Amino acid sequence: MGTVAIQLSNAVKAYGRNVVLAGLDLDVERGEFLAVLGPSGSGKSTLLRVLAGLEPLDGGELRWPDSPGTSPPIVATVFQQPLLMPWLTVRENVALGGRYRANRTRFDHQHVDELLALFGLADLADALPEELSGGQAQRVAVARAVAIRPQVLLLDEPFSALDPVTRRGLQAWLRDATRSLGLTVVLVTHDVDEALYLATRIALLDGSGTVAGWWRAVPVDDHEDLAGHPLRAELLASYPSELGTATRGAS
Ligand SMILES: Nc1ncnc2c1ncn2[C@@H]1O[C@H](COP(=O)(O)OP(=O)(O)OP(=O)(O)O)[C@@H](O)[C@H]1O
């Protein structure tokens, strides 16, 4: 196992009588791309909010073994919707991320320009969000998140609202971008193929608030190779058909 960046132990989270995380253990290794799979309502978004520090736990512990002292790593989160500031240009939206970091009052123009170039947004720098396609807007959202120079990037189904072709393109782009930045990534998704294309490790939630199984994965280079991916059938067979009905676990 690699160096553990985030460790969640025996996590419990309930909304009233609805117990969403029921003693869940999860670790995130530094530099990995972890995909968390699970059916709708299994607690993926809740788990991500817990990892982001946006949601307090009712039980258990969140630790950052790899960080100095007890301070958490710098974590950036991207949600299903891009949530861009509609009155700011692409450049200003991306710069906003960098400005929040360390309470900067001025934009780091060079860093913003580098990100715009890396994310293929240079030509759109002066566009407003209303002029962007869904895929372009989500790229801006990721660039804005990365502008705070995070160690960990948390992604909550960032491409779920996009058409399949755009989605594939963005998956390829995300993989290249996060690799070149050396980020630790946690992606929650209900799409087995998205997990197999992107992830170096996969956790499947069982629909009862714990993890049904873990898999090490070797991402494929081409979407066309996903149909024959050796883990695909196993993951699909293990996938809970509804909440609380995982068919079998895996190691
Ligand atoms: N803020 C909240 N208040 C009350 N209940 C919540 C809240 N957030 C989530 N829940 C409930 O927790 C459960 C898990 O929701 P969550 O959004 O984490 O699941 P999910 O796996 O991400 O689902 P989806 O794939 O549909 O987004 C659901 O029953 C949901 O209704």
**pLDDT tens profile 38-85:** 988 999 999 999 999 999 999 999 998 877 676 778 899 999 889 999
- What letter does residue 228 receive in the DSSP assignment? G
Give ipTM to 2 decimals. 0.97
**What's the gap in Å between 15 CA and the centre of ligand 1?**
9
Which regions of the chain carry the CATH code 3.40.50.300?
1-73+151-251
Atom of ligand 1 nearest to the CA of 156: 22
Supply the pLDDT for residue 249.
39
Supply the pLDDT for residue 144.
92
Atom of ligand 1 nearest to the CA of 47: 18
Supply the pLDDT for residue 251.
37
**pLDDT tens profile 201-232:** 999 999 899 999 999 988 788 888 888 888 89
Sheet with 211-216: strands ordered across: 75-78, 152-156, 184-189, 33-37, 201-205, 211-216
Assign domain 1-73+151-251 to its CATH architecture. Answer: 3-Layer(aba) Sandwich (3.40)
* pTM as predicted: 0.90
